[in-house]
Amino acid sequence: MLALTKKTSYGLIALRHLARRVGGLVSAREIAEQSGLPPALLMNVMKELAAAGYLESVRGARGGYRLALRPDEINLADMIAALEGPIRMAGCVLDDSAGKADHTCEAMGSCPVADPVHRVHRKLQDFLRNVTLAEILDSAGAEPQPKGDVDVAEAARLP
């Protein structure tokens, strides 16, 4: 099962909160209190987002965080990679960032599912690169999501 980690979920919650609070500084503690998140973990996530260039951090008694980028400049794939490292749907793929995958599996040459799994992996990465924070904020403009489970074999056959 593919699922967002707590770290990524907390990052999205923080980014969403800051995007809705245009201009002003917001403390991690305030976001944690309003969202019911553990402050220590949220603070660490926000430090990582600041280090990756998504947030600006202002120190001091009246300090806090604000977005360093516009919501339409923040895509889910890059944000997840900043917090978690490279996205890997399949354990046999180390890096597919330049369209050339490095593989860790010795059975790669004879694996019957390697090609379809890698195609699905690339499609997942492409999809996440096209989902922006702006789209997440704009729930009224969001495309309806398919109901039920996605058939991985069917997705692998797509071009």
Q: Are residues 44 and 99 in the same domain?
A: no
Q: How far apart are the first and last CA of the chain?
A: 23
**Does residue 141 or residue 76 have the better pLDDT?**
76
Closest among 83, 30, 26, 35 to 57, alpha carbons compared: 26
d(CA 100, CA 61): 48
What's the pLDDT score for residue 108?
63
What's the pLDDT score for residue 150?
39
What is residue 148's three-state secondary structure? Answer: coil
Average pLDDT rounded to a whole number, residues 124-129: 91
What's the whole-model pTM score?
0.74
91: in domain: yes
What dihedral do alpha carbons 88, 93, 99, 100 form, nearest 10°? 160
Average pLDDT rounded to a whole number, residues 125-143: 79
d(CA 159, CA 18): 37
Looking at the structure of the chain, the number of domains it has is: 2
What residue numbers bound the domain in which 132 lies?
A: 87-157
Kind of pairing between the strands at 93-95 and 64-67: unpaired
78: in domain: no
104: in domain: yes
What's the pLDDT score for residue 12?
94
79: in domain: no
pLDDT tens string 36-83:
999 999 999 999 999 999 999 999 888 899 999 999 999 999 999 999
Residue 71 identity (one-letter amino acid): P
**Does residue 106 or residue 130 have the better pLDDT?**
130
CATH number at residue 39: 1.10.10.10
Under a CB-based contact definition with an 8 Å cutoff, are residues 26 and 66 in contact?
A: yes
Average pLDDT rounded to a whole number, residues 111-128: 84
pLDDT at 94 over 50: yes
What's the pLDDT score for residue 105?
66
Q: Are residues 102 and 63 in the same domain?
A: no
Under a CB-based contact definition with an 8 Å cutoff, are residues 48 and 85 in contact?
A: no
**Does residue 106 or residue 65 have the better pLDDT?**
65
pLDDT tens string 1-46:
467 899 999 999 999 999 988 778 999 999 999 999 999 999 999 9
